[in-house]
Amino acid sequence: MNKKALITGVTGQDGSFLSEFLLAKGYEVHGIIRRSSVDFRERIAHLEGKPNFHLHYADMGDSMSLVKLVGKVQPTEIYNLAAQSHVQVSFDAPEFTADVDAVGVLRILEAVRTNHLEKSCKIYQASTSELYGKVEEIPQNEQTPFHPYSPYAVAKLYGYWIVKEYREAYDMFCCSGILFNHESERRGETFVTRKITLAAARIAQGNQDCLYLGNLDSKRDWGYAKDYVECMWLILQHPTPEDFVIATGVQHTVREFATLAFHYAGIELRWEGEGINEIGIDVKTGRTVVAVSEDFYRPTDVVNLLGDPTKAKTELGWNPSKTSFEELVRLMTEHDMAKVAGEGVAAKVRMNLAEYLEKGIVK
């Protein structure tokens, strides 16, 4: 049978890497996009026009669009990655987050049932380590109790349980990957890692003075997104539908991430002070280049995530140490150093052009 994947959230970080991965495996890939006033599809622009890559308008909040699309595509695998995925934003838009991240999962499951594809279509649900929230044990594995600690996590908890319920009630092949944080050069710019690597690059090149962060003590198990999408696929190739923790088993603080990113950008940091008064100083110039702002504190913050990937390692044969923390920070920082340098050149060209037009040197 031809392998046909439908990816919700195809424009996101994971959706773009997963599309590349599945196309390389010979899949026909279909992705859901939604209407926006600016068509910003940077992460998948290089895939558009490929014969096996197709985009369709639909929305996780619109059942009818999902039912019609699933019926039209007749996928053999669905990867449900679409979500309002920013934890801090979920405190400001909790209802929207619940609609997309919780009820959206139900809509996908029902779209499969409505089209009578329960026995031919496997479903992967993008679950999250945020379910462990105010953690009850360290490290966290498939048996660790959940304690969601944000509107995002509560919505994702519904997604997790409804997937389990449909698996048991209707014998569907649907599973959750409980993924710990995974980052890349394609990570959204308001997540802490990308915010840091971009700022380190801008500060190193004289385009920004200071980076403002929230909780520097927060600990995360950070992996590389490109390695993690392979696991999403492996979960659906497993003989039985099961849930898996996907993590590296290594933990670092936000402060450690920042120290290393600035190092790769050519700036050595020294930390002084505590809490809201903590600052990161450029050892060479004595300038404060990192400071703490309450604006980035959360009403409840998840501060100690560390995953135990033993089950994924032994049952899926997945390698959690493919990309080390150091390599991840280096590749993201190097990418952003080049991006910022490119922006500088483009700005200079625009300035020169404006000047030449004004002086009539070019018309």
Write out the catalytic residue numbers: 128, 130, 152
Among 90, 125, 181, 184, binds ligand G4F (CB under 6 A): 181
Q: Which residue is nearest to ligand NAP (CB)?
A: 12
Query: Which of these segments, 60-68, 210-218, 238-246, 350-358, binds ligand G4F (CB under 6 A)?
Result: 210-218
User: Which structure tokens are listed for 25?
Assistant: 């495996």
Which stretch in 191-199, 268-276, 283-291, 316-324 sits in contact with ligand G4F by CB under 6 A? 191-199
Among 4, 43, 107, 195, the residue binding ligand G4F under the rule CB under 6 A is 195
Determine which residue in the list 97, 218, 259, 323 makes contact with ligand G4F, applying CB under 6 A. 218
Tell me which residues in 339-358 interact with ligand G4F (CB under 6 A): none
Q: Please identify which residue in 76, 128, 184, 248 interacts with ligand G4F, judged by CB under 6 A.
A: 128
The structure tokens 């080390």 sit at 324
Positive/negative CA dihedral, 116, 119, 122, 128: positive
Shortest Å, Cβ 156 to ligand G4F: 7
d(CA 98, CA 241): 25
Number of Cα atoms under 13 Å in the Cβ half of residue 56: 21
* Residue 296 in contact with ligand G4F, rule: CB under 6 A: yes
The C-alpha atoms of residue 232 and residue 228 are separated, in whole angstroms, by 7
CA proximity to 32, closest of 6, 5, 63, 61: 6
Give the torsion sign (CA, 344, 350, 353, 358): negative
By CB under 6 A, residue 85 contacts ligand G4F: yes
Q: Contact between 315 and ligand G4F (CB under 6 A)?
A: no
| 87 vs 111 by CB, closer to ligand G4F | 87
- Look at the chain and count its residues: 363
Using CB under 6 A as the binding rule, whether residue 180 contacts ligand G4F is answered as yes
Q: Which is nearer to ligand NAP, 189 or 274 (CB)?
A: 189
Sheet holding 279-282, edge to edge: 211-213, 288-292, 279-282, 269-272
CB of 146 to ligand G4F, least distance (A): 13
- The least CB distance from residue 361 to ligand NAP, in Å, is 41
Q: Where are the alpha helices (DSSP H) in the chain?
A: 13-24, 63-73, 87-92, 94-98, 104-114, 151-170, 192-204, 225-237, 254-264, 310-316, 325-358
Chain mean position to CA 124? 15
Q: Which is nearer to ligand NAP, 14 or 28 (CB)?
A: 14
**Whole-angstrom distance, CA of residue 342 vs CA of residue 68:** 43
Using the rule CB under 6 A, is 140 a contact of ligand G4F?
no
Cβ at position 198, least distance to ligand NAP in Å: 15
**What is the Cα–Cα distance from 228 to 307, expressed in whole angstroms?**
13
Question: Smallest gap, in angstroms, from Cβ of residue 255 to ligand G4F?
Answer: 9
Question: How far apart are the C-alpha atoms of 51 and 40, rounded to whole Å?
Answer: 21
Please tell me the distance from the alpha carbon of residue 34 to that of residue 56, in angstroms, as a whole number: 8
Q: Can you give the binding site for ligand NAP, defined by CB under 6 A?
A: 8-15, 32, 34, 36, 59-61, 81-85, 100, 126, 128, 179, 181-182, 188
- Among 9, 141, 27, which Cα is nearest to 79's? 9
Indicate which of ligand NAP, ligand G4F, none lies near residue 82 (CB less than 5 to 8 Å, by partner kind): ligand NAP
Residue ranges binding ligand G4F (CB under 6 A):
85, 87-88, 128-130, 180-181, 190-193, 195, 213-215, 218, 220, 254, 296, 298, 301-303, 305
